[in-house]
A and B are shown apart, each in its own frame.
Chain A
């Protein structure tokens, strides 16, 4: 065991050690910045529970009200009540946003006696089919948005709105 370390070896080890430390000191923060978005906690739990049981859903859209608690808008915290039209198509649950794609009024299922089986917007007589497709010739320019749906313990939970995927 020639455990004698030569001066040259000692110097090169020390330099490598110190150099490595310095390089990592600059690299580590960069790596941390790069992965930071992934590590962020997701605020306001993605899916919000609603009082709607899955068993009670049918093929007719029903109105489901739910509340987003403590939503933060800058420094202002508030509870926001929200609504969705929810129905079953086979086994999939579909939740449509009631916000009219024309100017943002609230649409109703069969809101007009003359047009059964359609969503109706009372502001300018906009109409949508059951899957949210806007009926040409009425003011809306696009289909109703959809909510992301998740089922937890037999209850419908709703997430963000996404552009309609059914049309």
Chain B
């Protein structure tokens, strides 16, 4: 499910089944040297998110990505903005990111960190298979968390 009015209607009717919230975290850098990397990893995270969304549409809700800059105090962001997610109606909360900093922080959910892969020069089928490989690696984290309840 995406964060759209229509999908939200489905969610409100099917809350017992859609019990997982995924929040992409993306870093937007505007320094010349890092801009390309930042754009490329954002592209990767968003493509991966949309692939996971199609595979697990009926169980996961995807929030719009949360963006921050290099000047953001991530610790502070974790304690304020992201803290909100500790009191949602979703049983499981995941953060999807390519930024390693988050793994060291206390977040109200599990952080799924993926190494960023530049997708911009790949043709569609190669990109698809790379993303599927990445999904396969992330999958155990989801299923483990689901099995816990």
Query: Could you list which residues of chain A lie within 8 angstroms of chain B, going by C-beta atoms?
Result: 65, 67, 79, 81, 100, 102-106, 121-124, 139
Contact = CB atoms under 8 A, between A and B. Distances in A.
Contacts of B124: 67, 79, 81
B56 A123 contact: yes
A122 B52 CA distance: 12
A64 B55 CA distance: 15
Nearest to B10: A103
Q: Which of B58, B59, B143 has the most CB of A within 10 A?
A: B58
B17 A103 contact: yes
Interface in B16-74: 17-18, 54-59
B55 A106 contact: yes
Contacts of B57: 103-106, 123
A121 B143 CA distance: 13
Q: Summarize A's interface: helix, strand, loop or mixed.
A: loop
Range class of the B interface residue count = 10 to 19
A22 B56 CA distance: 62
B54 A106 contact: yes
B128 interface: yes
8 contacts: A81-B128, A102-B17, A103-B10, A105-B58, A106-B57, A122-B143, A123-B57, A123-B58
B14 interface: yes
A11 to B, nearest CB: 67
B128 A103 contact: no
Contacts of B80: none
Contact of A65 (B10, B128, B143): B128
A132 to B, nearest CB: 17
Contacts of A105: 55-59
A69 to B, nearest CB: 10
Given A124-B17, A139-B17, A104 B58 contact: yes
Contacts of B121: none
Contact of B56 (A65, A67, A79, A122): A122
